[in-house]
Amino acid sequence: MATGKSTIGARIAAGVGVPFLDTDALLAQRSGKSIGELFASDGEARFREREAELVLPMLSDLSPRVIALGGGTVTMPRVRHALLERCTLVTLTAAPETVVARVSSLRKRPNLWALSPLDRARDLLSVRHSAYAESHALVATEGQTPKQIAERVIDVAGLDTLVMPLGTRSYVVELANDEPSRLAAALAELNPSSLLVVTDQNVVAARAQWLDAALEGVGVARHTVVIKAGEVSKTLATVARIWDEALLHGLDRDAVVLAFGGGVVGDLAGFAASTLLRGIRCVQVPTSLLAMVDSSVGGKTGFDHAAGKNLIGSFFQPNRVVVDVEHLSTLPKRERAAGLAEVVKIALVRSVDVLEQLEAAAEAIACGDRAALRSVVRSAIALKINLVRDDERENGSRALLNLGHTVGHALESQGEYTRLLHGEAVAIGTCVELAATERMGLSAPGLAARARLLFERLGLPTKASPDELGSAWPFVLSDKKRSVAGLKLPVVTTAGHGAVVRVTVEHLRRAVLLS
């Protein structure tokens, strides 16, 4: 809002040689009225509709352009979300005093015509604060030359980032390719007082050099907790070790917990961060495929209990996620395949395009082809972001991500977390649940066979014997998705479309044991 976006936008466009569009100028040109006249004659609601009608069609053309938006355009969630999905959205910021000083020479800003410009600017910025926070970057304009601001925006546009839009808790998920400097840059922005790194023995053996390169120039105290690798560590005792280490070194509220590892490390570190000093910042750096595509994004944290997996935890969003696909180069093939199970799962319930992408490139993906993997990692994260954006606390559509997890978790628990990797259990669970729900008339016919074939091509197990399913069944009874009203179970109504239905545990048991 009055932060110089038209000037800066034009400068960037000229600098990189692409067209420049200014939506205020276009609206004025189309209507033959100034923005102030339009706003006054239409009223705000109609004015916003005009902006949406202008901006949304622009987004179907993905050729490079710079667009300066009106200050209120991003207050419409559907416009903001579309911009975040298809463009790099940068918010230029300035203090209310600066906005007012600039606006006095820009009398056309309609929202600032009120008699107390400073109070009006404060009100508007406060109302818009949460919408403005949902962007690929906030770039401060005060004390910066137009050249510096333009360079910063161009740098942001050159990164491969996705945004989890959760108001003032929004964060960026950045994809990189052997670039430890990206983590260093993220930490520099967060400016922590100290770092608590949580990692595991396998990750230290394979990836310590990458982390050392990233943290080399980060000039703050670093403390490290190295846990034993695997689900066996996902306990309260390990959380207590992290708490002890943090408190022993006097971590304060400006410290950052850095999760460097797979799903177990990420969930434990996230939970510790959510409880230390009632919550300190957390950066997730996933090193397994499963953590990249699923657990590092979305804020689920916690640990296992003797009664079942992930029964204790919190929703606590990280402040940044840095996904460097180079970590996949040292990931054992079995672990890579396990991560792919979560990608298939989200494609089954949310995107036939991604499902077809997986089917078209299954062998390349299974062999670890870097470009193919990066592409599916990106697709899976984008799908997950949309689910979490719309249902952070899993009251509705986020539960689709539990496809295959009711039976999968039961199989994992029954194998004492050592027989199957989580992704392997999810692959088997998805096949078993889809076959059962097809039998119950809830999932589309043929999908269980389609999913089974894809999992097999990706090198994943797909079957459990009736004995295994029978002995795993008691663990379904402690599933956290169960309530007196029944079990919330994701089904797939057509490829790429899931729904969550409620079934009784007994109904499901009969269908599972028949399949």
266 part of the interface to ligand GLY, by CB under 6 A:
no
Is 278 among the residues known to form the active site?
A: yes
d(CA 195, CA 283): 10
Give, in order, the Cα–Cα distances in Å from 240 to each of 93, 198, 275, 309, 336: 41, 12, 11, 18, 30
Please give the helix or strand (H or E) that residue 411 lies within, else none.
Answer: helix 405-414
Stretch that binds ligand GLY, among 33-41, 294-302, 407-415, 438-446 (CB under 6 A): 294-302
Is 300 among the residues known to form the active site?
A: yes
Q: Which listed residue (157, 323, 401, 410) binds ligand GLY by CB under 6 A? A: 401
Catalytic residue among 398, 452, 481, 488: 398
Is 305 among the residues known to form the active site?
A: no
Is 398 among the residues known to form the active site?
A: yes
Check residue 294 and report its DSSP letter.
I
398 part of the interface to ligand GLY, by CB under 6 A:
yes
Is 309 among the residues known to form the active site?
A: no
How many Cβ atoms from other residues are within 10 Å of residue 199's Cβ?
Answer: 24
d(CA 265, CA 226): 9
22 bridge partner residues: 68
Is 456 among the residues known to form the active site?
A: no
Is 488 among the residues known to form the active site?
A: no
Minimum distance from residue 70 beta carbon to ligand GLY (Å): 35
1 versus 381: smaller Cβ distance to ligand GLY: 381
295 versus 414: smaller Cβ distance to ligand GLY: 295
User: Of all residues in this chain, which one has the CB nearest to ligand GLY in the complex?
Assistant: 401
Q: Which listed residue (174, 294, 424, 479) binds ligand GLY by CB under 6 A? A: 294
Helices (H) and strands (E) in the chain, counts: 22, 16
Catalytic residue among 152, 234, 378, 409: 409
Minimum distance from residue 388 beta carbon to ligand GLY (Å): 7
298 part of the interface to ligand GLY, by CB under 6 A:
yes
87 versus 164: smaller Cβ distance to ligand GLY: 164
Is 234 among the residues known to form the active site?
A: no
Q: Are strands 281-286 and 320-324 parallel, antiparallel or unpaired?
A: parallel
The most distant pair of C-alpha atoms in the chain lies apart, rounded to whole Å, by 78
Q: Any idea of the CA torsion for 111, 116, 118, 123, to the nearest 10 degrees?
A: -60
Minimum distance from residue 283 beta carbon to ligand GLY (Å): 18
Minimum distance from residue 398 beta carbon to ligand GLY (Å): 5
Nearest to 377 by CA among 361, 394, 393, 389: 361
Catalytic residue among 134, 335, 342, 412: 342
CB 350 within 8 A of CB 260: no
309 part of the interface to ligand GLY, by CB under 6 A:
no
Using CB under 6 A, which residues numbered 28 to 67 contact ligand GLY?
A: none
308 part of the interface to ligand GLY, by CB under 6 A:
no
Is 419 among the residues known to form the active site?
A: no
267 part of the interface to ligand GLY, by CB under 6 A:
no
Give, in order, the Cα–Cα distances in Å from 349 to each of 148, 240, 352: 44, 37, 8
d(CA 91, CA 1): 9
d(CA 139, CA 152): 8
280 versus 401: smaller Cβ distance to ligand GLY: 401
310 versus 330: smaller Cβ distance to ligand GLY: 310
Q: Burial-class residue 95 by CB neighbours within 10 Å (0-12, 13-18, 19+).
A: middle
Stretch that binds ligand GLY, among 84-92, 96-104, 291-299, 350-358 (CB under 6 A): 291-299
Is 223 among the residues known to form the active site?
A: no
Reduced 3-state DSSP string for 52-71:
HHHHHHHCCCCCCCEEECCC
Minimum distance from residue 310 beta carbon to ligand GLY (Å): 9
Nearest to 309 by CA among 295, 326, 328: 295
Check residue 43 and report its DSSP letter.
-
Residue type, 27: L
Stretch that binds ligand GLY, among 16-24, 219-227, 295-303, 490-498 (CB under 6 A): 295-303
Catalytic residue among 134, 174, 231, 394: 394
300 part of the interface to ligand GLY, by CB under 6 A:
yes
Catalytic residue among 109, 152, 207, 300: 300
Minimum distance from residue 301 beta carbon to ligand GLY (Å): 10
Name the site residues for ligand GLY (rule: CB under 6 A): 294-295, 298, 300, 398, 401
**Residues designated as active site:** 278, 300, 342, 384, 394, 398, 402, 405, 409, 422
